[in-house]
A and B are shown apart, each in its own frame.
Chain A
Amino acid sequence: MTDQFKIAIIGSGPGGMSAAARAAELGLSHILLEAAPHLASTIHHFQKGKAVMAEPSVLPLRSSISFGPGSREAILETWRDELAAHQVNLRLNAAVSAIAGEAGNFQITLLSGECLVAKFVVLAIGVQGNIRKLAVPGEDLPGVQYQLDDPDLFNDETIVVVGGGDAGVENALALARQNRVLLVNRQDDFSNCKEANYEQLMASVARGKIEIRVNTLTERVEPYSGEAFKLSYMAQTPEGREQIDCHRIIARLGAKPPRQLVEGFGVVFPNNESTAVPQLSEQYESNVKGLYIVGALAGYPLIKQAMNQGYEVIEYIQGNPVEPADEALLKEKFASVPDIHSVSEGMALLRANQPLLAPLTTLQLREFMLESVVRVPRRGEVIFNRNDYSNSFFSILEGRVAIQTEGAGGEDAVFALEQGNFFGEMSLLSGRRRSGTAVASEDCILVETSRRSMLKLLYSAGGVQRKLDEVSLKRVVRGCLDTQLPERELDYLVQGAQSRRYAVGDELFHEGDKADGLYMIRRGSVTVSRQVAGKEVVLAYISAGNYVGEMALLSNQPRSATVRAASPTEAVMLTAVRVAEVLSRNTAMRRKVDSRYLEHVRADEYSLSSESSGLIHFLMGQGVGEATDVLLIDYARCIRCNNCEAACADVHDGTSRLDREAGATYAQIHVPTSCRHCEHPHCMKDCPPDAIHRTVNGEVFISDNCIGCGHCQTNCPYGVIQMAVRQDYPKRTIWQIILGTNRVRLSPAGADEQVKKAVKCDMCKDILGGPVCVRACPTGAALRVSPESFLGYIK
Chain B
Amino acid sequence: MNNMQGATLLNYKNYRYLKVSAAIVLVALVVYVLHDPVGDRAFGGTWLGYTLGVLATLMLFGMMWYGVAKRSITGTPDWSMITDREGEGRDLAEMKARHLRGKPPVNKGLRGSGMLQEWLSGHVYLGISLVVLATLHTGFHLGWNVHTLAYVLMVLVVLSGFYGLSVYLNYPRLITLNMGEDTLDDLLLKIAELDELAAARALDLSDEVNVLVRASCQETRVGGDFLQQLSGSQRNCPTAFATRHLLELGGQYVREEQRKMLRDLYSLLMRKEKLVQRARTDIMLKARLECWLYLHAPLGIALFAALAAHIVAIYFYW
Contact = CB atoms under 8 A, between A and B. Distances in A.
B173 A635 contact: yes
Most buried by B among A664, A765, A769, A780: A769
Nearest to B5: A636
A768 interface: yes
Interface in A764-782: 764-770, 772, 774-781
Interface stretch (B102-110, B215-223, B237-245, B264-272): B102-110
A768 B111 CA distance: 10
A670 to B, nearest CB: 8
A693 interface: yes
B100 interface: yes
A696 B91 CA distance: 12
Interface in B69-87: 70-78, 81-82, 85-86
Contact of A373 (B96, B107, B172, B176): B96
B114 A775 contact: yes
B113 A775 contact: yes
Contact of B95 (A450, A643, A704): A450
Nearest to A448: B95
B17 to A, nearest CB: 13
B88 A695 contact: yes
Nearest to A371: B92
Most buried by B among A670, A693, A780, A781: A780
B3 A793 contact: yes
B207 interface: no
B46 interface: no
Contacts of A781: 172
Interface residues of B, number: 60
A701 B173 CA distance: 34
B1 A768 contact: no
A734 B68 contact: yes
B276 to A, nearest CB: 21
Interface stretch (B7-15, B252-260, B305-313): B7-15
A774 B1 CA distance: 19
B235 interface: no
B117 A779 contact: yes
Contact of A769 (B8, B94, B107, B176): B107
A694 interface: yes
Contacts of A638: 172
A661 B185 CA distance: 11
A194 to B, nearest CB: 15
B181 A664 contact: yes
Interface string A327-340: 00000000000000
A611 interface: yes
B68 A737 contact: yes
A392 B108 CA distance: 33
Contacts of A637: 5, 7-8, 172
A651 B100 CA distance: 23
Interface string B269-302: 0000000000000000010010000000000000
B89 A694 contact: yes
Contacts of B251: none
A695 B100 contact: yes
A737 B101 contact: no
B131 interface: no
A359 B51 CA distance: 85
Given A640-B286, A775-B116, A647 B4 contact: no
B1 A794 contact: yes
B115 interface: yes
Given A635-B176, A647-B73, A768 B113 contact: yes
B114 A769 contact: yes
Contacts of B32: none
A475 interface: no
Interface in A676-708: 690, 693-697, 701, 703-705
B175 interface: yes
Nearest to B183: A661
Contacts of A289: none
A426 B75 CA distance: 37
A668 B173 contact: yes
Interface in A630-685: 634-640, 643, 646-647, 650-651, 661, 664-670
Contacts of A794: 1, 3-4
Interface string B177-216: 0001101000000000000000000000000000000000
B81 A451 contact: no
B303 to A, nearest CB: 16
Interface in A452-473: 452-453
A745 interface: no
A371 B172 CA distance: 56
A775 B115 contact: yes
Nearest to B68: A737
Contacts of A770: 75, 104-107
Contacts of A668: 1, 4-5, 173, 176
B68 A777 contact: no
A636 B176 CA distance: 7
Given A665-B180, A668-B4, 4 more contacts: A636-B176, A697-B103, A738-B68, A778-B116
Interface of B: 1, 3-5, 7-9, 12, 67-68, 70-78, 81-82, 85-86, 88-92, 94-96, 98, 100-101, 103-108, 110, 112-117, 119-120, 168, 171-173, 175-176, 180-181, 183, 286, 289
17 contacts: A371-B92, A390-B98, A615-B1, A639-B172, A640-B289, A668-B1, A767-B75, A768-B76, A768-B78, A768-B108, A776-B116, A777-B116, A778-B9, A779-B8, A793-B1, A794-B1, A795-B3
Interface of A: 371, 373, 390, 392, 448, 450-453, 611-612, 615, 634-640, 643, 646-647, 650-651, 661, 664-670, 690, 693-697, 701, 703-705, 731-732, 734, 737-738, 764-770, 772, 774-781, 783, 792-795
Those 6 A-B pairs whose CB atoms lie nearest each other, nearest first:
A693-B89, A769-B113, A780-B8, A450-B91, A769-B75, A635-B176
